[in-house]
Amino acid sequence: MLETNKVSNESVIEGNKRVKRAGGKKLKKALNFFSFVGPVYLVFIAIVLVPFIMGIYYSFTDWNGITGHIKMVGLDNYKYIFKDDLAFIASFKLTAKYTVIAVILTNIVGFGLALLVTQALKSRNILRTIFFMPNLIGGLLLGFIWQFIFNQGLISLGSILKLKFLETAMLGTANGAFWAIVIVAVWQGAGYIMVIYVAALQGVPNDLIEAAKIDGANRFQVLKKITIPMVAPAVTVCLFLTISWSFKIFDTNLSLTGGGPFGSTEMLAYNIYKEAFTNNNFGIGEAKAIVFFVVVSVITIVQVYLSKKREVEM
């Protein structure tokens, strides 16, 4: 009986030791995890989460962003945005139009460049570098560079070549300024999109392409039936990025056209900036930013869902 009790006690003690060792390992793993991830969480909370929550609060006030007087106005800011703020509605429509055009052109040009630099060319590495370089230039600097090109470079070239359509200042008309923004955005973003498509194209099996060619498929058929379905995941990523970039365009809009001429190229982000920091209507600006956030979130979620569904079907 005593021996049985002794064995039982030893088993309990051994079990407790195992539990303590397991608990110590879990604690060590948790400490290691938070020592690496914890600082990132803290920075995210301080820089993203807290300002976002404060922005939601300020969107229900009439704060001007300067004084300490803050008055709650409820949903008045949101009612004003959708009923009386015609500039915001016009900016929203313009941004939606710009997004559709810029997303399509950027992806087409980026994919075309990717097809080019994945061919057996001796200069393909140099071409990749050249095509990617515009993405390294900041939007503000890029806008000022292209402003000089549109306002002086092309006009001088038109005068030399006697081409009247080049002698007209492109940024002087609403339609011309809009397409100028599109050109600059595509020129800057296509190189980055190209890199993603290049990585996807390099993952397409060559033996599959060779087998299709042996069966009589031409280049267009190979592209349509094999290449595009195989790079569908990259298309999802590129669409997500370009939609996000296009909706959030600000620096190029600010430096290239400044919203002109006469507010005809004032994109949504620039309209929010002017409302909050130029007109000192911080509460209304925050309300616009919240609406902007919700719209972009919904559009990107729907786009990713549909693209993923399309991947499965392909």
Asked if residue 217 lies in contact with residue 289, where contact means CB atoms within 8 angstroms, the answer is no
Instruction: Find, among 263, 253, 247, the residue nearest to 139 by Cα.
Output: 253
Is residue 259 in a domain?
yes
Chain-centroid distance of CA 16 in Å reads: 53
The pLDDT mean for the chain works out to 86
Name the burial class of residue 151, with classes exposed (0-12), middle (13-18) and buried (19+) by CB atoms within 10 angstroms of its CB.
Answer: middle
User: Mean per-residue pLDDT for 254-266?
Assistant: 90
Residue 292 in tokens: 């902007």
| pLDDT value at residue 169 | 81
Domain extent, residue 231, equals: 86-313
> Prior bond to 261 cis, omega within 30?
yes
* Count of structural domains within the chain: 1
pLDDT of 72 strictly over 80: yes
Is residue 250 in a domain?
yes
**Which segments of the chain does DSSP mark as H helices, in order?**
2-44, 50-58, 76-83, 86-117, 124-132, 139-148, 154-161, 164-167, 174-201, 206-214, 219-222, 228-230, 232-247, 251-256, 268-273, 282-313
Residue 276 sits in a domain of what CATH number?
Answer: 1.10.3720.10
The CA-based angle 223-225-229, given to 5 degrees, is 90
User: Mean per-residue pLDDT for 171-175?
Assistant: 89
Q: Which of 105-109, 221-225, 244-248, 297-301 has the lowest mean pLDDT?
A: 221-225
pLDDT of 10 strictly over 70: no
pLDDT of 115 strictly over 70: yes
pTM, entire model: 0.85
Rounded to whole angstroms, the Cα distance separating 34 from 25 reads 14
Three-class DSSP labels, 249-275: CCHHHHHHCCCCCCCCCCCHHHHHHHH
Q: Which of 89-103, 135-149, 157-171, 277-291 has the lowest mean pLDDT?
A: 157-171
pLDDT of 206 strictly over 70: yes
Instruction: Give the amino acid at 42.
Output: L
Residue 91 in tokens: 């900016």
Angle, nearest 10°, between helix axes 174-201 and 86-117? 40
Is residue 258 in a domain?
yes
With a pLDDT cut of 90, the percent of the chain lying above it is 45
pLDDT of 265 strictly over 90: yes
- Rounded to a whole number of angstroms, the distance between the first and last alpha carbons of the chain is 72
Asked if residue 134 lies in contact with residue 187, where contact means CB atoms within 8 angstroms, the answer is yes
pLDDT of 220 strictly over 90: no
Chain-centroid distance of CA 234 in Å reads: 14
Is residue 149 in a domain?
yes
Q: For the beta carbon of residue 25, count every other beta carbon within 10 angstroms.
A: 10
How does DSSP classify residue 61? Answer: B
User: Mean per-residue pLDDT for 91-105?
Assistant: 95
| pLDDT value at residue 58 | 93
Residue whose pair of structure tokens reads 């703020």 in the numeric block: 85
pLDDT of 198 strictly over 70: yes
Q: Which residues pair with residue 213 across a beta bridge?
A: none
pLDDT of 267 strictly over 70: yes
Rounded to whole angstroms, the Cα distance separating 276 from 284 reads 7
Quick one: pLDDT band at residue 2, thresholds 50, 70, 90? very low
pLDDT of 178 strictly over 70: yes
Is residue 300 in a domain?
yes
Is residue 270 in a domain?
yes
User: Mean per-residue pLDDT for 5-28?
Assistant: 59
Is residue 220 in a domain?
yes
pLDDT of 314 strictly over 60: no
Residues 49-67 have pLDDT tens digits of 999 999 999 999 998 888 8
pLDDT of 4 strictly over 60: no
The CA-based angle 226-122-200, given to 5 degrees, is 30
Helix (H, G, I), strand (E, B) or coil at 122: coil
Rounded to whole angstroms, the Cα distance separating 273 from 260 reads 15
Is residue 23 in a domain?
no
